[in-house]
Chains A and B, each alone.
Chain A
Amino acid sequence: GAVVSQHPSRVICKSGTSVKIECRSLDFQATTMFWYRQFPKQSLMLMATSNEGSKATYEQGVEKDKFLINHASLTLSTLTVTSAHPEDSSFYICSAEDRGKNTEAFFGQGTRLTVV
């Protein structure tokens, strides 16, 4: 099946610094990627929809200036958490749609972000 690679899997950063998370579709082209956030013992909540070559669409309550999304190619989307604070500590996970198939979205392995 299609593979989505997310990197890094774990990151610890200091408050005030920025962290970039990459999401790559390895063997298919993804015009659309989705970024989700999962707090401990909770479900996944959609943060934003990333469209190749255009601006991301953010969900209500998600600060676009804090969570910068870039989708510059059909195989790569990045999420940058700017000026991170401890409350940004969470599990971030991306998914990508194979534009040749509409039946499923493929998920990355997730990134556990800890801000200290």
Chain B
Amino acid sequence: GEDVEQSLFLSVREGDSSVINCTYTDSSSTYLYWYKQEPGAGLQLLTYIFSNMDMKQDQRLTVLLNKKDKHLSLRIADTQTGDSAIYFCAGHTGRRALTFGSGTRLQVQP
């Protein structure tokens, strides 16, 4: 099955850019996703990228996909304190359920 790995923690200052990285093993995932989870809450889909794309930009969010290295990243420009949360990357297994990474806790310092 799919293995998805992320670094556990990232701390940035408000206004800086944040880059959260993710590596995965299953190259057959059609879509790759980034979700945000605030404390005690469910998951919020931030963005996704189709596997034949290298980059996708959506306002402050930029997703980069390197299929050769099986590496996915999420860049948040002008990071705000409200961006503090846990960020999960996820990809599909063959049965369409999602396999999630371990999550990266982003801490934004004022």
A interface residues, Cβ below 8 angstroms from B = 6, 32, 34, 42-46, 49, 57, 93, 95, 97, 103-110, 112
Contact = CB atoms under 8 A, between A and B. Distances in A.
B99 interface: yes
B109 to A, nearest CB: 21
B74 to A, nearest CB: 16
A95 B101 CA distance: 17
B98 A95 contact: yes
10 contacts: A6-B42, A42-B102, A44-B88, A46-B99, A49-B95, A49-B96, A93-B43, A95-B43, A97-B96, A112-B40
A103 B48 contact: yes
Contacts, number: 49
Interface of B: 31, 33, 35, 40-45, 48, 88, 93, 95-103
A108 B100 contact: no
Contact of A93 (B42, B95, B101, B102): B42
A43 B40 contact: no
A108 B98 CA distance: 14
B101 A43 contact: yes
A103 B103 contact: no
